[in-house]
Structure formats: structure tokens, C-alpha cells
Amino acid sequence: MLAPEPSGAIDLAATGSAEPGLGLVVEAPVVEPVASSKEGLGLGTWIAGGWLALVAVAAVLADLLPLDDPERADFLSIATGPDGNHWLGTDEIGRDILSRVIYGGRISLMVGVVSVVLGVVVGGMFGLLAGYLRGITERIVMLLTDALLAFPALVLLLCLAAVFGTNLPTLIIGLAVLTVPTFTRLTRANSLVVANREFVTASRAYGAKPMRVILRDIVPNVLMPVMAYCFIVMGVVIVAEGSLSFLGLGIPNPTPSWGGMIAGGRIDIGEKPHIVLIPGAVMFLTVLALTVLGERFRRRYDVKEAFL
């Protein structure tokens, strides 16, 4: 599976529910995060956030930056090191590495963000229904989740590539499908605990409809733990995209991607290691930054059972 099993910790934020005509408002309790309010974000968190901001801004504004065409080959400068014309050198056919790293960031970030968003929406919906409705609904959802977890991820992606071709939409959909079980289990685990809280029981007792209880009482209390875990899953998805591109199942050439750049330079890695090391280092730092932020926010919104 793309990501480790979530811890299932939940967060309770202030929320309310009121059924029209009953004159009663049921307020969810406000629970402070485990992390102390006096505790700062820390230098590592700021560095990680700064690196992600730099990569994101560079990728978004790549067309406005004074960069070489990432697909144009300079056959007079093949696999050269950093110099005045190419700050990070050129690749195996003379394309500017700096330009390809920045434009490749678009692909990696787009795949990471869109795949995780789709996984959160679909998996979160199934997890909420399973955690709140229980019974036959929970059994069906968890059966489908276990079946998807049991299916080999690489085989699924190979099947999608064989049927729909190797392109960006296919890659995003394939990786999104693989993230759905993770967010289904995480959302269900949080929903099971929140659904047993007093404010949810009171909302039911005063006639609130199931969908109203889910949207007004449960969703706000499981949202932050899920969002914190998104950073970690996003990093895993970026690595997966790079691995698939390395295997030839990702974005086809000449469109730049970090995995494709690593794959293109693997033959000359002994003599020209910068072709592989530079995109590899950028991918490593980006995934590390996402992991640092994800772990930081997970600790901040990790509410222990003792606080409930």
C-alpha cells in the first residue's frame, strides 16, 4: 500500500448542531491539541514550509522565469556540469537541468495534490458513512476497502496504463484509487469515536437527520487529523510517481518529471552523477519537507482519549 496505516487519533473542534423548531443547540466540546500552545512551530517546520513554498512558487511561475526551454536539446553541451550557461548543468541529450527540475515540479506537485484530494473526498465519504451508520454499510465499505488493499498496486497501475495509456490523467486516477483505502480507514476510525460522543447522541435524540449529524458534528471533528495525514500521503504519492516514471509508466518524454530525469541519467551515473543526483535531491527534500509538516501537524492535532 502507498502509506502506512493511520493511527486513528481524532481531533475535536467546536461545532454545533440544532434541529429547526426544537429550540435546542447542542455544542461539541472544545478540546485543546496535545501540543502545548506555548510550543512554537520550530525551525525545522519553518524550513520545510519555506522549501515547499519555493518549489510551489517556482513551478507555478516557471513560464515567467528566465529559463531555457525544458524540451530543447543543446547537442553542443551534452551532459555538462554546472556553468554560466546552465547553472545546474545539462542532461544526457543537452537539456537544461534547472529548467527541467522546475517544470518537473509541476508534474510531481500536481499528481501529489490532485491524487490526495480525490482520495480524501472519496475515501472520506465512505469512511464517514461506515463509521456513523455502522451495520451492513460498514461491512460493505470495509470489504471493498480490504479487497482494494489486497490487490497489488503495481498490477493495478499496469492495467490502467495498458488500457488508457501512459498520461497524466491516468497516473492521477491510478494513484488516487490507491489512496482511497488509507483515507477510508482513517476517517472511519475517527468517526467511530466521534459518533459515540455526547453531543452526537444529543443531536440524534432531538431528531437530527443522519446527514445533518455527519456534516455538522462529525466532519468538523475528523477534518484536521485527516488533513494532517494528507501531507504524509502526498509525499508517498510523489515518490510513487517518480518510481513509475522511472519504470516508464509515468509521464512520457519529452515532458519533464523528476522520475523521468532520474531514469534518463541512470546509464551515465558513474561518470555524470549530477544528472541523477540533482532531481533526486530535489525530490528527497520535497518529500522530507512534506513528512516534517505532516508529522508536526499530526502531533498538534493528536487528541488523546484522556482529553475526551
Q: What pLDDT, on the 0 to 100 scale, is given for residue 305?
A: 39
Report, in angstroms and rounded to the nearest whole number, the Rg of the chain calculated over CA atoms. Answer: 23
Q: Which residues contact 180 (CB under 8 A, 6 or more apart)?
A: 119, 122, 123, 126, 145, 148
- The proportion of the chain whose per-residue pLDDT surpasses 90, expressed as a percent, equals 30
User: What is the rounded CA–CA span in Å between residue 216 and residue 15?
Assistant: 7
User: What is the rounded CA–CA span in Å between residue 139 and residue 132?
Assistant: 12
What's the pTM?
Answer: 0.79
Q: What pLDDT, on the 0 to 100 scale, is given for residue 58?
A: 93
pLDDT tens-digit series, residues 46-68: 999 999 999 999 999 988 988 88
DSSP, collapsed to helix, strand or coil, labels residue 267 as: coil
User: What is the rounded CA–CA span in Å between residue 111 and residue 166?
Assistant: 14
For residue 50, what is the enclosing H or E element?
Answer: helix 43-60
Q: What pLDDT, on the 0 to 100 scale, is given for residue 39?
A: 55
- How many residues are listed for the chain in this entry? 308
In contact, 80 and 90? CB cutoff 8 Å: yes
* Domain regions of the chain by residue span: 16-307
In contact, 27 and 199? CB cutoff 8 Å: yes
CATH class of 16-307: mainly alpha
- Quick one: the chain helix, strand, coil %, rounded to 5? 65, 5, 35
Positions in the chain whose pLDDT score sits under 70: 1-40, 301-308
Q: What pLDDT, on the 0 to 100 scale, is given for residue 13?
A: 38
